Structure 1
């Protein structure tokens, strides 16, 4: 260990007459610790909320949608094969038929996007209430039923006042021309499934029937409205959309989920950046405490600095002594803050649940946010960014006191001693 490190450690241990400096050092370490911990915790919570909201948005929204500008797709089996061969990230490519419709039951009316889906559609992987807890595929695609089945959202069921087994009438915006005028098409459906949880604003307006029923009732036989593509990772959607545009060209219209809802998620990222900057000011304030501590040490140790210079220590060595002392304070605070922040972030849900039980209050209402747990997700990139920024701020805070100590004139410091 060089003598600069030895002297830096020695200056951090206060003597009886220098206790105040030691207290200021402790406050500086505590300030950096709390600032770093707050940054890591808040960034983890914002990341968790971002991913939670993204999961809600993509609950019933495909990662990539392929449609035809002509309205319907006739050669959809060939199109599905082309999509699946475009990229290895494609998990599934399912056809669908969709059209706006009115749902009527018990004198109540609700608007919905009536959607015909295949049995492998990802939307059917969520949990539904069904009679005798049967699998949703077995009741929705049961060809022996006298009336076709329909699956609706929990909000739609509450609005219509229906439950499992009830019958609702579906009226699409299509009319039949008869000698008596235009008569709307009406078809009864039996409610065979209801979503277990109340979904977001997108889930509420969808009702699902089998693809075959939709083709006969609201579409055209052997034609679909488009293809819904699911990819392995959310971030794979945009590259796949660009590749499909290059391969398919006109008249196909291809959109990824980023193009449909990217602006909303970008707002969440901007909010996360804003919180990072605001909370970074806490670390900056703690860094001012470090600078104050070092200035006081320089004022207290001016005789020691003069003696060291007289014994042959260079200005560079004096500079190192006080830079090392500031870095020791900053490193200690950053390390403690990182440990505290990670502990809080990784156990946020358990701590919130414990506080709710002890205080008998609701801190995080799961029904409001549509999440089954308090969101907190630690990303290594965020932790590294916080550590680097904190250490950089602490290093900058040491520059002025260290330069002042290095420029002290030994003769002036010892003239009146």
Structure 2
């Protein structure tokens, strides 16, 4: 296919009377470039938000929860041993106690889920505000230093108007019957740590304390609310949960993190697919420009086509000339769009910060999304999908003009010349 390439490249270079066609070709390339770049950037941002939300969820929620239907679990050490022996993918299993409660301080009230955990729980991996930057676990699990310690979210602290070191009262939904009526149970705790990151929608609803303190608070004795299980990867949570269901029969309930929040993450995936389809229309519009360019070239070059056919060029060669011309436009647009999209996606956070600082705008509010930077994660599969879709649309746009050129009758084209 030697001369077909030569003729295709020749037709892309405009002569003085064909400048308009060259401009249309440039617009076609620019349209494909912008469409591909927009697709890559939006998919990278959606992937970043998806991963950010998932990290927020998995920062507080275990991979798998084992609970007992309608009651608390007694004899949990045996259940932990059974869980650890059920699958080699399970890294650890820890008991916890959870109960809704009210936090009271300075006439301010906040509703939270009080959660008693053991030392080493993954919730302590996030950054906290503590007195003298002390280790949060030492403050929570060290006994004999006055009031027991409590960890709350920064949004909860703002609602209660408290800081590290202040005392708040925890009121569980339990009452003591006295001659004067029912009196709610109340126990003072000292705020020893506050989460330093705003906007974590799960941090707002949890307050953490040592497991024995939580058992005393709700009169659970040696019972726990459930067992938190961590596996080697969150992707394996569903399969491991299915294995655990074969070990823990009713009344035990086994739920993975996808069972708890899978519908929310599925909505994010559906939104990502919708944006892919909507922005793909930009590439489709650019493909119409490619078709328009080739149709105009066919109309302009009908004499050239007739001469090529007269000297022995086949219909397949004529069709290949215009298919190659459209593919060159599509390839240039896709390549430039991929490079531009990757450049923007990789540097989305500094670009957003530069725009905010230069124009005084507020594009990304970290407090709202609970993320310390603008999320943008480039997924190689998304980039490959965008490239394939763009090239496919560009190729399809060349078929009709190339087919019309291949069917042109040389005698008819040269009759009035």
Task: Report TM bin, short chain.
Answer: over 0.9
Match of 2:327 in 1: 327
- 2: CA distance, partners of 1:70 / 1:260: 18
Please give the alpha-carbon distance, in whole angstroms, between the structure 1 residues aligned to 2:16 and 2:128. Answer: 71
- Kindly provide the CA deviation profile for residues 43-100 of structure 1, in whole angstroms up to 9, marking residues without a partner as x: 1111111211222233322221110115112232222233233334433322100111
Instruction: Tell whether 2:194 aligns with 1:194.
Output: yes
Does residue 1:392 correspond to 2:388, yes or no? Answer: no
Is the contact made by 1:97 and 1:219 (CA closer than 8 Å) also made in structure 2? no
d(CA) in 2 for partners of 1:363, 1:46: 16
Matches within 5 A, 1:6-405: 6-178=6-178, 181-405=181-405
Cα distance, 1:195 vs structure 2: 1.6
1:82-130 CA distances to partner (integer Å, 9 max, x unpaired)?
3233334433322100111222222332222111100111111112222
5+ residue gaps, structure 2, are none
- Range that drifts further, 110-119 or 333-342: 110-119
Q: Describe the superposition over 1:171-198 as per-residue Cα deviations: whole angstroms up to 9, x where unpaired.
A: 2222334566544322221221122123
Q: Aligned with 1:99: secondary structure?
A: strand
Q: Which TM-score applies when normalising by structure 2?
A: 0.95
Question: Does structure 1 conserve the Cα–Cα contact (< 8 Å) formed by 2:201 and 2:370?
Answer: no
TM-score by structure 1 length?
0.95
Structure 1 unaligned regions, length at least 5: none
The answer to which of 176-185 and 27-36 deviates more is 176-185
Of the structure 1 ranges 11-20 and 137-146, higher mean CA displacement relative to structure 2 is found in: 11-20
Alpha-carbon contact 2:198-2:368 (below 8 Å) kept: no
Pick which of 356-365 and 116-125 moved more. 356-365
Q: Provide the C-alpha distance between the structure 2 equivalents of 1:100 and 1:222, rounded to a whole number of angstroms.
A: 19
User: 8 Å contact 1:147–1:188 — kept in the other structure?
Assistant: yes
Structure 1 vs Structure 2 CA RMSD: 1.7
> What is the number of equivalent residue pairs in this alignment?
417
User: 2:35 touches 2:337 (CA, 8 Å); kept in 1?
Assistant: yes
State the distance in 2 between where 1:349 and 1:201 align: 22
What is the CA–CA distance in structure 2 between the aligned matches of 1:375 and 1:399, rounded to whole Å? 40
